[in-house]
Each structure stands twice: as structure tokens, then as C-alpha cells.
Amino acid sequence: MEKKEEEKGKKEKTRKIFISHRHADRGIADAIKEIIEKWRFKPISIFQSSDPNISTTIGAPLSDNLKEKLVEANVVLLIYTFDDKDWSYCMWECGVATDPKREQNPRIVVFQCTDDSPAPFKDTVRVKITEDGIMRFIKQFYTEPEFFPGFDEAIAPDIGEEALKDISTTLYDSLNKVVSTKKIKSQRRYRWDSLTLLLASTHVKKLEAEEDMDAASKLAADIIPKNCVVKNAYGDAFKHFGLSEFEEGKKIGELFARWEQKTGDKAKKEWKSYLYTEMWRAIHNSPAEPSWALLKSVRPDFDRW
């Protein structure tokens, strides 16, 4: 009798959900959160960074606070709309959540709100905003014992079909009011010639692990030229380095070498070390501190810095 009372008095472990979404898609996240909170059945904590009531602590480093919530999460709900939008932060959140060093990663559930789907999760079963798609999600969410990794019992194992249908219909109707499937064509415009650089996550992690700026600058000077590639170029960016046209996949070190060949030993090279330092700051989510070190263009008949 005493043992039963003791077990009854134990506080049940809370299931934790992290909703990852773009700021523009907050309405979709709100609709999902509202339904889960209304029919929670078991202790559930939902973190949604755009919610002012539970958002990250004022004054605290944004990434540290989000990392903590992502590490604690049992399920991550990714709200995905159009592929021509900026998904870098959401992908960063999913990347942190699925760190291979963790003993047990959360379940990633993608709400695919349009015909576009996220490339990193193309092999993952996604939730489409249809009556069948939402019903399937609701049924698994409430009745599958291991839907929340680390939990053996379902949220509502004895829930009836009518209740599931009621929850599903309510969520479907709510989402239909806030999900827009109309794709607005966007066009990115640049004012100046520019390069978009790509550095693989393995090299990013090496730079992220180095906290000392001087040591990081030396490490960056070794890693970046050999591994950072040019993903995109706008305007005459390649010509400033002495190359006639854009070549995707060109290592930035090759551009540096071409530029030095054209300018000779007397040209100022401080801009390179400043570039390394700024990339290190970006990796650490630190504010930029532009030095405005000048790069001499080697374009013929173009005497500009």
C-alpha cells in the first residue's frame, strides 16, 4: 500500500518539444502549439523562440540559450514553407538537436506546409497539411509509445478515435487559416560585387572549438584558404582577383594566389587576416567588427580599392 502511494506521488517526467520556424511563419507555430497545449494529457513543455512569454533570456547569448533548449528537447517540430527563403537558422537548430555525440537524439518532425521540402530531410517522412497527413501525425503523437525518444508510454494510449478526429480536425482547420501556399517570387539584389563562401561543418567545428582569437586567426589562416570554396559570385567579383569568369567550387586560396601573382609582393595583404578574424567571429555568433581593410582590384584599367 505504501509503495503504491509512493509511486503515485512521484512527479512524472516532462516531455519537451522545440518548435523551429522562421519568424514569418510564427502563425503556423502558434497554431500547432495551441492545439498541443489544449490536449496535452501528460506533462509537456513547448519551447518556441518567438513566444515572448517563454523566449530566450534578455541579455543572454542567443545561441547558448537555444542550444540548451535543443539539447533538452525530445521532439523538434520544424515548420517548413518555401525553399527560396533563408533556412540557415532553422537548419542550425536541427543540426544542434541531432548532434551525433548525444546518446539519444530527438525525433525531427517536418511540417511541410507547401510543395517545397527541405533537402536535408528529403528521406524523412514529413507531415503534409492535408486531412490525412494531420490525422496521421495526431494519431502517432498521442498513441505511439516511443514517439518521444526516452519515453516508453504513449501520451494518451487509451484515447478514442472520436477524440483523435476532433483534435486532428481542429488542428487542420487552424493551419488552413494561417498556411499560405502562394509562392511569392523573390529576387535577391546586391549593390556591390560580392562572393558567397562555403566552409564545411567539420572545419567550422575546428574553428568553433578555438576560443583564443590570436590562435583562432592562425588556425583560420591554415584552414580557410585550403578548404573554403566560392559558392556564388555577383558582378565582377572574380575579375578583381585576376580571373576572367566565375568558377563554382574554386577554393578561396586559389583566388588569393592569383591576386598575389597579379599584384606582386608590395600589395597590402592585411585584408586577408581581417577576413579570417571576421569569419571566426561569425562562427562564434559574435558581433562583426569591420576593419575596412582595403583590397586592391587587379582588373585592367580599374584603379580602385
Q: 193-227 pLDDT, tens per residue?
A: 888 889 888 888 888 888 887 888 888 889 999 99
Looking at the structure, do residues 218 and 100 belong to the same domain, yes or no? no
Question: Could you write out the three-class secondary structure of the chain?
Answer: CHHHHHHHHCCCCCEEEEEECCHHHHHHHHHHHHHHHHCCCCCEEEEECCCCCCCCCCCCCHHHHHHHHHHHCCEEEEEECCCCCCCHHHHHHHHHHCCCCCCCCCEEEEEECCCCCCHHHCCCCCEECCHHHHHHHHHHHHHCCCCCCCCCCCCCCCCCHHHHHHHHHHHHHHHHHHCCCCCCCCCCCCCCCEEEEECCHHHHHHHHHCCCHHHHHHHHHHHHHHHCEEEEEECCHHHHHCCCCCCCCCEHHHHHHHHHHHHCCCCCCHHHHHHHHHHHHHHCCCCCCCCCCCCCCCCCCCCCC
Predicted confidence at residue 283, as pLDDT, reads 84
Q: To 10 degrees, the CA torsion angle through 114, 120, 124, 125?
A: -10
Q: Residue 261 sits in which domain range?
A: 194-283
Backbone phi, then psi, for 270, in 5-degree steps? -60, -30
Cα–Cα dist 154/72, whole Å: 19
Predicted confidence at residue 1, as pLDDT, reads 46
Query: Domain containing 101 — which CATH number?
Result: 3.40.50.10140
Looking at the structure, do residues 158 and 262 belong to the same domain, yes or no? no
Domain count, the chain: 2
Asked whether 110 and 28 are in contact (CB, 8 A), the reply is no
Looking at the structure, do residues 145 and 270 belong to the same domain, yes or no? no
Looking at the structure, do residues 146 and 41 belong to the same domain, yes or no? yes
Predicted confidence at residue 4, as pLDDT, reads 47
Looking at the structure, do residues 108 and 223 belong to the same domain, yes or no? no
CA distances from 236 to 245, 290, 304 (A): 8, 22, 13
Please state the pTM of the whole predicted model: 0.58
Looking at the structure, do residues 203 and 163 belong to the same domain, yes or no? no
Looking at the structure, do residues 209 and 264 belong to the same domain, yes or no? yes
Looking at the structure, do residues 171 and 54 belong to the same domain, yes or no? yes
Looking at the structure, do residues 248 and 146 belong to the same domain, yes or no? no
Predicted confidence at residue 286, as pLDDT, reads 81
Looking at the structure, do residues 172 and 199 belong to the same domain, yes or no? no
pLDDT, block means (10 residues), the chain with 305 residues: 47 90 93 93 87 53 74 93 88 84 85 89 86 95 93 92 96 92 62 87 87 83 91 88 86 92 82 86 82 85 82
Q: Assess if residue 278 is contained within a domain.
A: yes
Looking at the structure, do residues 131 and 76 belong to the same domain, yes or no? yes
Nearest partner of 230 among 218, 246, 215, judged by Cα: 246
Predicted confidence at residue 188, as pLDDT, reads 63
Predicted confidence at residue 6, as pLDDT, reads 47
Cα–Cα dist 13/277, whole Å: 44
Looking at the structure, do residues 155 and 205 belong to the same domain, yes or no? no
Q: Assess if residue 186 is contained within a domain.
A: no
